[in-house]
Amino acid sequence: MQQNPVKKIRIGITVVGKDKEGIVAAFTNFIFQKNGNIEKVNQNVIRGLFGMHLEASFSGRIDVKKFDYELQSLGKKLGMEVSIYHEINSHKNIAVFVTKEPHCLQALLDAKDKLKGNISVIVGTEKTLEPMAKKAKIPFVLVDEKDQQKAEHHLIEITKKYDIDLVVLARYMRIMTPNFVWRYPHRIINIHPSLLPAFPGAFAYAQAFERGTKIVGVTAHYVTEELDQGPIIFQDSFKVDSADSLEVIKKKGQKLEADTLLKAVKMHLEGRLEVSWRKVYTR
């Protein structure tokens, strides 16, 4: 009688802190000592800040609590902040970051009961969308610090408090730095109002209108430390009539943004996306 193969347990680990020698070796050796296999590892250093994302698999049973405790202890010993992501978690906690445009947030709220995840918190750079959060009975947290370092320190506290698995930027008009982005590799989804890499920046529709673009599109992508250059999840577009005004183009675009972001979030939560060599593949 043929035995069923043992299902692999996959664990994602992120390490962020001041750059120093021996960090990669310390964490990879820890995995090997636990009879784990390293599936992926990548690291970056920017202005003295070190970031590493490591994915490991284990074919046998593993004491998750003991593993997490020992890994956090290793991080403290080395002066590094460690985050652990267990893919076995079937129901993900979601944080939605917003500014003042409501269309993407509304699409997520309308679909929240159908998502394979829970919208645990809504974070705003201003209070414009707080009434939407209150109506949906979801906590709203204001993070309006102008200094990005202070703002991100606050954001990190919030994501830890709510045990966030996925961050969704629903027209969030702030640029994330590596100090935050590296903590959520391939777990921050953004919607951009153009077919990247064309027309980058906040005024994509105006640029498209001025250039007489015949097709306008939107792009849902994972966020990396490179602005608007992360792996593309999904794109969609619509045709522009020569008689369309800028307001008509914006209205069509905002509807498409909401639909496309929601589709990307659903695909991520359903485990249908795989990132390899900066490309997203659908399972």
pLDDT single digits (tens) 224-282? 988 778 899 999 999 988 888 999 999 999 999 999 999 999 999 998 888 877 788 88
9-86 belongs to CATH 3.40.50.10890: no
Mean pLDDT in the chain? 90
0.95 surpassed by pTM: no
Residue 253 to residues 64, 113, 215, 248: CA-CA distances in angstroms?
44, 25, 11, 8
228 catalytic residue (yes or no): yes
Q: Give CA–CA dist 8/6, Å, rounded.
A: 6
Cβ atoms of 186 and 232 closer than 8 Å: no
CA 211 to CA 205: how far, in whole Å? 10
- Looking at residue 256, what is its pLDDT? 96
pLDDT at 232: 92
What would the mean pLDDT of 47-52 be, rounded to a whole number? 93
**CATH class for domain 92-282?**
alpha beta
Note the helical H segments in 50-129. 64-78, 103-110
Residue type, 226: E
Q: Where are the domains of the chain?
A: 9-86, 92-282
Give the tokens for residue 17.
């802190």
Return the structure tokens found at 134.
């209150």
Distances from the Cα of 210 to the Cαs of 205, 218, 251, in angstroms? 9, 17, 16
State mean pLDDT over 171-175.
Answer: 94
Which one of the listed residues 113, 147, 165, 228 is annotated catalytic? 228
Please report, as a single letter, which amino acid is at residue 70. E
Alpha-carbon distance of 103 to 243, in angstroms, equals: 24
- How much is the pLDDT for 241? 87
